[in-house]
Structure 1
């Protein structure tokens, strides 16, 4: 019941304060103006992340967790929102923005939140001197993966809520009360803002919001799965399957085309879904569905035997390949799996 109280409380707080920050954004010109590259037709406030952060911090203070890990989460979350606000306002160079992210990521590392070991197939592997660089890379990838999918109303917020729900559920199974509680509080804070961020949006998350969600997801993925003894490294990857797919194939696509990895384009999953005929809202809901499948698969994988886990991983890989081929996410006309399935269906129907 206390967990439900925290969920409702954080949602109510963010729901109430979001309009306040929207008005402040308009007053101080903290808005995203429409142009030829953007889909919105009027100035939109960038205040989503600030609203989530304030609600999250207030609720965490009320909850008073015993574990000290909440300190780097709140401190780092505050700094990543400040970085995002500056980026939203002044459009920082990618290199400066990335440097700022690394500074923020150093905070949980300083507090000992590090990926020092993984346990694939029950075999403990120690990263040794590579533990800190790998942790930097891990959290940075998640921050930017969530940042990159924030291209449609409600997309990054909704996908994050789904991922956090999976992390919270596994936290319950592990009796990891801290991870479960922080996940639930952030879910509520995000849901309160999602009401205003879903299509047609009244506010945007901005980089301050998407990077906040990515940062906390990155830290929670380390805290929540450090002691899992089987396929531990796969759980957060699968939970965040949609943003990981998008950022991975965005990198491959840009490398193939010989353009900078930091250059913006309209080749992301949500853009591809719109190109093949889905509306703005339909694209978001379809990606929600994909994210839910990945989240449920993670829970099943956590509860599975070795054989079941292997089968689930194979099915997930096939699903990813089909998604990539169907949406031409990689920018290639080669579709071996879809062509193979098409031949099978033709034989069955003939």
Structure 2
């Protein structure tokens, strides 16, 4: 890497000076725009679905755009560029102002989501039309749609991520820093310098946008940052090794997971996907009692970890890099699951009603995802066993055997895991209750895999040590994956869970008086008698559910008040608890 830095000293020198100038320009412009907005009262009214507690100017995107765009044009106008660099030049010269003004118009006139999406797709089509897209061996019918999807998704993802002071700008800045070091000596100089300019522009803006923010970037800033970062990633991926083409996209993990969690949970709760809200990963961290500043710094830390793994390709083989990346993504998945259990939705009129089939899908989706994650872990474990056995480099003679064996391992191990009950939800107090079950499942599945390999290939050309290492690794990985929720809970605090109460109004009134005030907002009541659903005078205090399906939207468990319930009614309650996947809780959970 040192030799690459020496060879690229001209690019490095321009990057440093360009980044410094962009930083100073951005900081100065942000301050000037902030003062002008205060003087002329260019401050929009605060929306109810926004996180901010007080109105702020939203024209920070103007400073971001001008600091990057002016620096970019000044540095590269009249420079000798390669044919591909000229494509990037025109993509920024024409496309960046288009996206910026789209966001600016939206800031002032609140365009509909459909109109914004239409113009975003047009901007993305311009980029791929100029020849900037993911290189996948010339398969244009895949490369072009994937490039458009990435650009549009990133613009909207960063727009959604701009929900807390300093979050969007900081995540983009961290991503650009690691991409800058990844690009040195590998990507065209124009892309490397542009990443430095982006870091400088975001850094200057963060002086006024980090908590407590004086100014916001608005849609003009978030759409511009998404477009710029997306173009640079698409352009740089063309110069990656074939096996690492998708690696730069890894730095986008935070906006990808945030967008995925928000869309899925809004769909699940019947909310408008396109409407703003306080249900993002950052908001869920704050709901745990973490300060806003600390929540943003936690996401910064995750961004640094992901960026470091992306950069590790300079020192490690592609196989090791992708193993680290896959483990990181598994950790982020469980982090998202942990945060998604935090109650941030409360009863309101739904935009649409999710069908009972949708409810059942939501109940079984975690199990399907768990199986998918275990398939990834089984693959990682077996490949890692070979890497450990042969000290970091797998001889080519073993590669065909690895490819032939992995499908058999996946089928056998997942089958054993299912039969031994490893997919029964995300249990609490897991480690001591289920350690034996996991150890038994991994041991039995590894033994069966050895028997299958012996039957099919008589164990010829296989290493016995590899299967022993694989058994140890898969046991460790399954244990860690199943305890990650507890680890996050111990580090960040336990999420408050909404709890349902099922029973008759007479019994509920007695219990309601005993429930502490701070717990009442997390309680939902499903009355078993039709006459009790009118509220009985408690409709202003209690969150009532009209059906089991509605309670399933808000609660994962319920307390059954058995007073004056017949045996047949108790049996009916039990059947519904099984149907909707509820956990029946003791009364002490609500008292």
The number of equivalent residue pairs is 339
Report the CA distance between 1:224 and its aligned residue. Answer: 0.7
Structure 2 residue corresponding to 1:100, chosen from 101, 104, 119:
119
Report the CA distance between 1:135 and its aligned residue. Answer: 1.7
Alignment-derived partner of residue 326 in structure 1: 338
- The unaligned stretches of length 5 or more in structure 1 are 119-123
How far, CA to CA, are the matches of 1:39 and 1:79 in structure 2? 28
CA contact (8 A) 2:51 2:163 kept: no
> If the length of structure 2 is used for normalisation, what is the TM-score?
0.54
Check 1:26–1:77 CA distance in 2 against 1; reply closer, same or farther (3 A cut). farther
Check 1:201–1:278 CA distance in 2 against 1; reply closer, same or farther (3 A cut). same
CA contact (8 A) 1:237 1:244 kept: no
Check 1:273–1:293 CA distance in 2 against 1; reply closer, same or farther (3 A cut). same
Check 1:21–1:148 CA distance in 2 against 1; reply closer, same or farther (3 A cut). same
Check 1:15–1:132 CA distance in 2 against 1; reply closer, same or farther (3 A cut). same
How far, CA to CA, are the matches of 1:83 and 1:181 in structure 2? 25
- The unaligned stretches of length 5 or more in structure 2 are 1-12, 344-361, 367-424, 436-479, 484-591
Alignment-derived partner of residue 169 in structure 1: 181
Report the CA distance between 1:339 and its aligned residue. Answer: 5.8
Query: Does 1 or 2 have the higher relative contact order (CA < 8 Å, sep 6+)?
Result: 1
CA contact (8 A) 1:33 1:43 kept: yes
How far, CA to CA, are the matches of 2:428 and 2:248 in structure 1? 28
Check 1:341–1:268 CA distance in 2 against 1; reply closer, same or farther (3 A cut). farther
1:73 aligns with 2:92: yes
Report the CA distance between 1:41 and its aligned residue. Answer: 4.0
Deviations 1:83-104 (A, max 9, x none): 1111111211110111121122
Report the CA distance between 1:253 and its aligned residue. Answer: 1.8
1:185 aligns with 2:197: yes
Alignment-derived partner of residue 6 in structure 1: 18
Q: Using the TM superposition, name which of 18-27 and 49-58 deviates more.
A: 18-27
How far, CA to CA, are the matches of 1:294 and 1:57 in structure 2? 28
Check 1:306–1:38 CA distance in 2 against 1; reply closer, same or farther (3 A cut). closer
How far, CA to CA, are the matches of 2:278 and 2:272 in structure 1? 14
CA contact (8 A) 1:249 1:329 kept: no
> If the length of structure 1 is used for normalisation, what is the TM-score?
0.88
Alignment-derived partner of residue 287 in structure 2: 275
Check 1:114–1:275 CA distance in 2 against 1; reply closer, same or farther (3 A cut). same
How far, CA to CA, are the matches of 2:241 and 2:229 in structure 1? 20
Q: CA RMSD in A?
A: 2.5
Report the CA distance between 1:175 and its aligned residue. Answer: 4.7
Structure 2 residue corresponding to 1:284, chosen from 283, 286, 296:
296
Report the CA distance between 1:49 and its aligned residue. Answer: 1.1
CA contact (8 A) 1:268 1:329 kept: no
Deviations 1:215-256 (A, max 9, x none): 011111110112322443431331111111111222222332
Check 1:191–1:74 CA distance in 2 against 1; reply closer, same or farther (3 A cut). farther
Secondary structure of 1:195 counterpart: helix
1:201 aligns with 2:201: no
CA contact (8 A) 1:249 1:330 kept: no
Check 1:313–1:129 CA distance in 2 against 1; reply closer, same or farther (3 A cut). same
How far, CA to CA, are the matches of 2:25 and 2:177 in structure 1? 19
Alignment-derived partner of residue 25 in structure 1: 37
Alignment-derived partner of residue 121 in structure 1: none
